[in-house]
Structure 1
Amino acid sequence: MNDPVRHIVFDIGKVLLHYDPHIPFSRIIPDETERQWFFDNVCTHDWNIEQDRGRSWEEAEAHLIAEHPDHEERIRAFRLNWHEMVPHAYDDSVDVMRSLMSNGYDVTMLTNFASDTFREAQERFTFLKEPRGVTVSGDIGLIKPDVAIYESHVENFDLDPANSLFIDDSHPNVEGARAAGWKAIHFKSAPDLLAELEKYGVKV
């Protein structure tokens, strides 16, 4: 707490961008129970996180289709309709990020994101190009909360962990940052973030 915050690192999904795979799949699989079964057993979180680690969508789809051939169309629909899963930014969070940059803080981003979908998101939400840079898990084959991804970010962006503050909606990812020697805030909302930043003496 005593070391002043100079570097502020934002997660992206559910901090700066809304993400919900149920949005397109509520149309593709209208029955809620059936849809939840599909996410629990076919296109699972664990399956999707491997694309964040760098696995190609082609390989990911082939793997699942071999296991669930009756669901091929729905499996392919995940990537085809990904753009609908990210419908909008959290404007209040983006405003906080921009204010921090205006106040002289060094702002970067660290995200679990597949390489191709991140580039797609950057083109749709151009504020993602405004910070000094970003570490994308799919680009380097590491994912949060592995301490190695935080160490890679420190090295690539020349950060001092003691002066670095991480903002993420995932408690395990927050703990990963703390294990790497960073300060960290568990994101809940933009107003809550403002209150937490004030505790660290950060001027927004």
Structure 2
Amino acid sequence: MTAKIDHIVFDIGKVLIHYDPNIPYSRIIPDEEERKWFFLNVCTHEWNLEQDRGRKWEDAEALLIDKYPEREDQIRAFRRHWHEMVPHAYDGSVKIMEDLIDSGQDVTMLTNFAADTFAHAKELFPFLNKPRGVTVSGEINLIKPDVAIYEKHARDFGLRPEATIFIDDSVANVEGARAAGWQAVHFTDAERLKEDLRVRNVDI
């Protein structure tokens, strides 16, 4: 039998807010095949993840511009147009989070996010200020699914791992939380999340 849930931890991107770099780049690089090549070879997921780990944008851009000088404008556009990549919140899951907070549940957030873009995200989406606190990967130079980031979050916020449930859209990050001794669920949509919480006796 699983332990009673005392702590609920939300991921942010693709759980509470939408994220899609194709939104600005469909205008910046209109050709679909070229855009696909650009994301696979230039501004890759792995490259962006290093900003989530704490690398400065200036260093990240310089690295790519040195290799692809003819694409300087397209490379710099990633940070410049980042706000367009997060066009809206997921109202259903945001409501679940706010209802949990309002009902007295202990809610925190754990996210892979560059430090400066997270500060911008809090301005765009004020509900990100409502939980008790947040661990931002770019501020501590650790990223999910490294077990160390879950352990640090638990220490910093006084969470008992076995009494903690983590909600993330990435299966790898869910598995990372479980490796740290947490309970965890894979987020797909708000209705499924409600059911995942309900079966664990978390009242919403």
TM (norm. structure 2) is 0.99
Aligned to 1:150: 150
**Corresponding residue number in structure 1 for 2:122:** 122
Q: What is the Cα deviation at residue 70 of structure 1?
A: 1.1
Give how far 1:2 is off: 2.6
Q: Is 1:24 aligned with 2:8? A: no
Structure 1 residue ranges (4+ consecutive) displaced by more than 2 angstroms after TM superposition:
none
Gaps (5+ residues) in structure 2? none
Deviates more, 1:102-111 or 1:140-149: 102-111
The Cα shift of 1:104 comes to 1.7
1:29 maps to a residue whose letter is I
SS at match of 1:4: coil
Taking the aligned partners of 2:176 and 2:103, their CA distance within structure 1 comes to 27
Q: Does the residue aligned with 1:185 lie in a helix, a strand or coil?
A: strand
Letter in 1 for 2:37: W
Q: Shift of residue 198 of structure 1?
A: 1.1
SS at match of 2:202: coil
1:39-118 to 2 correspondences below 5 Å: 39-118=39-118
Identical residues among aligned pairs (%)? 65
- Count residues with an aligned counterpart: 204
Does residue 1:195 correspond to 2:168, yes or no? Answer: no
1:103 shift after superposition: 1.8
Gaps of 5+ in 1: none
Partner residue, 1:161: 161
Cα deviations across residues 60-115 of structure 1 (Å, max 9, x unaligned)?
Answer: 00000011111111000000000000001001110000111122210000000000
Partner of 2:142, secondary structure, is coil
Equivalent AA in structure 2 for residue 180 of structure 1:
A
Work out the CA distance in 1 between the residues paired with 2:67 and 2:148.
Answer: 32
Deviation at 1:58, TM superposition (A): 0.1
TM-score (norm 1): 0.99
Report SS of the residue matched to 1:143: coil
AA aligned to 1:92 is G
> Aligned-residue CA RMSD in angstroms?
0.6
